[in-house]
Amino acid sequence: MKKLVVAIDGHSSCGKSTTAKLVAKDLGYAYIDTGAMYRAVTLYFLEHYIDFTNPKKIDQALQEIHITFERNTKSNRNEVFLNGLNVEDEIRKMYISNKVSEVSCIPAVRHAMVSQQQKMGRKRGVVMDGRDIGTTVFPDAEVKVFMTADVDTRARRRQQELLDKGELVPLDDIIANLQKRDLIDSTRKESPLVRAEDAEILDTSHITIDEQVDFVLHQVSAKLLEQELAKRK
Ligand code: DC
């Protein structure tokens, strides 16, 4: 059966990666968390004191950055590596969340990440989550879902995730961070966060993770059926 690209875009912390991971597992597809890539670049820039306004330094830094995903057989999750070092936990911390939108606005950063993401998905059979997958990275993705949820729900979920990792962050700080990131992500010049015209909207404010996953899997089945019927014509 032909393998598809499943693009899951949407606002910060509305359950994109949880959904994408489970959908990928169900389909036997690869899962690529593109937000993790922008977070890894942010970590590198902060650790190396890269001036976000200096294009030359940014270009040099991008040459030095190698991002890979590796499966952790113990936790059975895909973890992100920056130049060979596992940075999965570090990149989820609040100090990275506070800077990542600034870094992901930089055109050179976006060009480098988008081209790497296109290479990763060229054989198809991937579920990719992010902000611009259905519009810029894979405008030809067969399945596109745009996820959203109200900001309170998103903030509470994010707070719990951080708490599970031992970081206690006040709810107001998280709400402020989510609103700031939404604003920067959706108003930037280069591939802003917008719903692709052909993306299905999924509001996760009042539904369970199983329901989110079923929604996406249903879109995939419908697309595969449509392709099968088209072949028989
Ligand atoms: O999905 P996330 O919250 O881990 O993403 C972190 C940031 O990266 C987010 O604020 C915007 C940026 N991002 C992006 O600009 N384009 C993507 N495809 C994925 C993430």
pLDDT digits (tens, 9 = 90+) for 50-99: 999 999 999 999 999 999 999 888 877 789 999 999 999 999 999 999 99
What is the pLDDT averaged over residues 114-124? 95
Mean pLDDT of the chain: 95
How far apart are the C-alpha atoms of 134 and 151, rounded to whole Å? 23
Q: What pTM was estimated for this model as a whole?
A: 0.93
Span 22-35, pLDDT tens digits: 999 999 999 999 99
Residues 202 and 134: beta-carbon distance below 8 Å: no
Enumerate residues 6+ apart whose C-beta is below 8 A from 119. none
Number of neighbouring beta carbons within 10 Å of residue 223: 16
Decide whether any atom of ligand 1 lies within 6 Å of the 35 Cβ: yes
Protein residue with least CA distance to atom 5, ligand 1: 35
Protein residue with least CA distance to atom 15, ligand 1: 104
What is the pLDDT averaged over residues 37-61? 97
Nearest-atom number in ligand 1 for the CA of 117 is: 18
Structure token digits, residue 94: 């609040």
Structure token digits, residue 221: 């089945």
Element (H, E) at 17: helix 16-27
Protein residue with least CA distance to atom 1, ligand 1: 35
**Distance from the CA of 66 to the center of ligand 1, in angstroms?**
18
**Distance from the CA of 36 to the center of ligand 1, in angstroms?**
7
What does the pLDDT read at residue 211?
97
Domain 5-225: give its CATH code. Answer: 3.40.50.300
**Distance from the CA of 105 to the center of ligand 1, in angstroms?**
10
